[in-house]
Structure 1
């Protein structure tokens, strides 16, 4: 039996300008939750990145569905019935949750700056667990949860030394409390 979950804080709905240009999907198609960190310093900088149009053909960019700030505030940038661009190869079946965390910012590809050493604050993790509880009720088709780093394992040349390979994605990183999160859900951790 699952422990009592914390109450869900209010979710501020703040759609990205291109949300309606993202492909629609039936909610029954969703079977996976992907946890990310923004690898930006603030929620505002994550929003700025999310608003960038990176795909001229569709007029859309990269974003998750839900964003959780360090103080536990939750914002919805893309409704779940739309396919957000947050993880290669898994977008049509997943909901992306972004936790504000610096990660490797601003040296994502520098071989000397690959540590992910910002801890996730308690308020942020409590809000995440509450949101996951809500998503379990709302989407009975969801069976799996995973981290971005579990799905995108590609390596690339580092920016400072092209002979050194660095991971393309490392989020949510080594300080993410997987044990605690897995105790709050009935889903299986997907690690392909």
Structure 2
């Protein structure tokens, strides 16, 4: 006998729950503007300079954060620390092409890696495990697909902050990302074909500065081989020529820049008569 009154009360409460608050805005979601784009334009890769437990602590209990943290465990996996819809504090003072302060337009991925140590023979960087790179490529492909990330917009922290950052360093295997179709890579045959010409006549520093800016780097445009320019050249070399990244504007670096900024022309579609 008590079931009917209880059902009636439940129905009444359910009905009340659907009544909008008088203070709530009246929203119509039936329209969508043409002039819009995804907030996420870039993916920025970092190393943590720490092990997994300390990396977790740093990225969850301080003001520094990242959307994802890739562990260095035997079977690496990702901690999701910040939802992609929200901004994380991973890029800091940064610049790439027309964007500054890339936190607001990027996804940050931290990879557990000790970074480097100074030795009597110089700075020695720690390698990344292949298992980590395999997992990273899977995640990057997913992010690229969901946010339509351009190949030139998967970057290292050093790319967007070349005056103060080294990560992910010269041992990060960017070529594997290129082979997976994730980033643009200068075709080796075209680079080799250009090297002899640049060995005979190396461009002036101003040329290197213009080309680096065309790629996306924030670099001085003063025609001088100052320390800031050397830093940017060194960062470029760690990605595309990691065997030597001393910041010297040499012939191979010129050839790499030339090819990267001179894409092959797209062949025109055949005419109906030529089919």
Structure-2 separation of matches of 1:172 and 1:122:
15
Please say if residues 69 and 100 of structure 1, whose CA atoms lie closer than 8 Å, have aligned partners that are also in contact: yes
1:33-87 alpha-carbon deviations (Å, 9 max, x no partner): 11111111x111011111333xxxxxxx111111111232111111111110101
Which of 9, 34, 37 in structure 1 is aligned with 2:44?
A: 34
What corresponds to 1:65 in structure 2?
A: 67
Task: Report the count of equivalent residues.
Answer: 141
Q: Does 1:132 align with 2:134?
A: no
What corresponds to 1:99 in structure 2?
A: 111
Please say if residues 104 and 114 of structure 1, whose CA atoms lie closer than 8 Å, have aligned partners that are also in contact: no
Structure-1 separation of matches of 2:176 and 2:147:
21
Greater C-alpha Rg? 2
Q: CA deviation at 1:187?
A: 4.5
With 179-188 and 122-131 compared, the bigger mean Cα shift is at 179-188
1:147-183 alpha-carbon deviations (Å, 9 max, x no partner): 00111122xxxxxxxxxxxxx3110000000011122
Say if 1:114 and 1:128 are closer, same or farther in 2 by CA, change over 3 A.
farther
What pairs with 1:8-157 in structure 2 (closer than 5 Å)? 28-40=38-50, 42-53=51-62, 61-70=63-72, 71-88=75-92, 89-104=101-116, 115-140=123-148, 142-143=149-150, 144-154=153-163
Q: CA deviation at 1:111?
A: 9.8
Say if 1:50 and 1:114 are closer, same or farther in 2 by CA, change over 3 A.
farther
What corresponds to 1:183 in structure 2?
A: 179
- For the residue of structure 1 that corresponds to 2:165, the secondary structure is coil
Q: CA deviation at 1:139?
A: 1.2
Which protein has greater RCO, CA pairs closer than 8 Å, 6+ apart?
Answer: 1
Structure-1 separation of matches of 2:184 and 2:87:
22
TM-score (norm 2): 0.47
Query: Relative to total residues, which structure has the larger helix share, 1 or 2?
Result: 2
* Stretches of structure 2 lacking an aligned partner (at least 5 in a row): 1-35, 93-100, 186-214, 218-275
Structure-1 separation of matches of 2:42 and 2:70:
18
The 4+ residue runs of structure 1 with deviation greater than 6 A are: 110-114
Please say if residues 116 and 126 of structure 2, whose CA atoms lie closer than 8 Å, have aligned partners that are also in contact: no
- For the residue of structure 2 that corresponds to 1:82, the secondary structure is coil
Say if 1:27 and 1:82 are closer, same or farther in 2 by CA, change over 3 A.
farther
Q: CA deviation at 1:104?
A: 3.3
